[in-house]
Amino acid sequence: MKTLKDYVRSIPDFPEQGIIFRDITSVLQDRDGLRMSIDQMQQLLDGIDFDVIVGPESRGFIFGMPIAYNLYKPFVPIRKKGKLPGETIEMEYTLEYGTASIEIHKDSIHSGQKVVIIDDLIATGGTIEAITKLVEQLGGEVVKIIFLMELEGLNGRERLRNYSVDSVIRYSGK
């Protein structure tokens, strides 16, 4: 029987020499891989009391939405700056080669709500750290952060050390 890791395509030397790119499209394109990824991420929520799932554009949508649907929870999208039509708050964060900004609707998280953040990958942790700040600025409490994959060599988990973080697949490198 295949494991979820068997569905992830590893592409050496992309986007640059020495990097192994972990491609999730091969997981999504296989019905068994897709089901397994959603099921295993959802299992990491067993016993967790929460009110809402938050996911960043775009791969957080892919994994967060079906889990929210399965568990009968609302889903809140985090989008790149300028993509949400309502009143928003934003957070700028550092990328490897610059900065980026993300936004959330001001009315999407209510004071005291328990929030789960779901995304495909944790690398340096910068995007998710920015999301935790947005959630907390709106009065929410981040009770769990779940990733499909983790690149342990980039130490993103350290940046999120004050939160409960889980990942389904872990790779020791970058």
Whole-angstrom distance, CA of residue 170 vs CA of residue 148: 9
- Token pair belonging to 59: 């791969």
Which residues have C-beta within 8 Å of that of residue 158, sequence separation ≥ 6? Answer: 125
| Catalytic hit among 59, 141, 152, 159 | 59
Look up 96 and say whether it is catalytic: yes
**Distance between CA 128 and CA 101 in Å, rounded?**
12
Is 159 within 8 Å of 129 (Cβ atoms)?
yes
Q: In the numeric block, which tokens belong to residue 90?
A: 């934003």
SS3 128: helix
Is 90 an annotated catalytic residue? Answer: no
Count the residues in the chain: 174
- Which of 16, 87, 96, 158 does the annotation list as catalytic? 96
Q: What residues act catalytically?
A: 59, 96
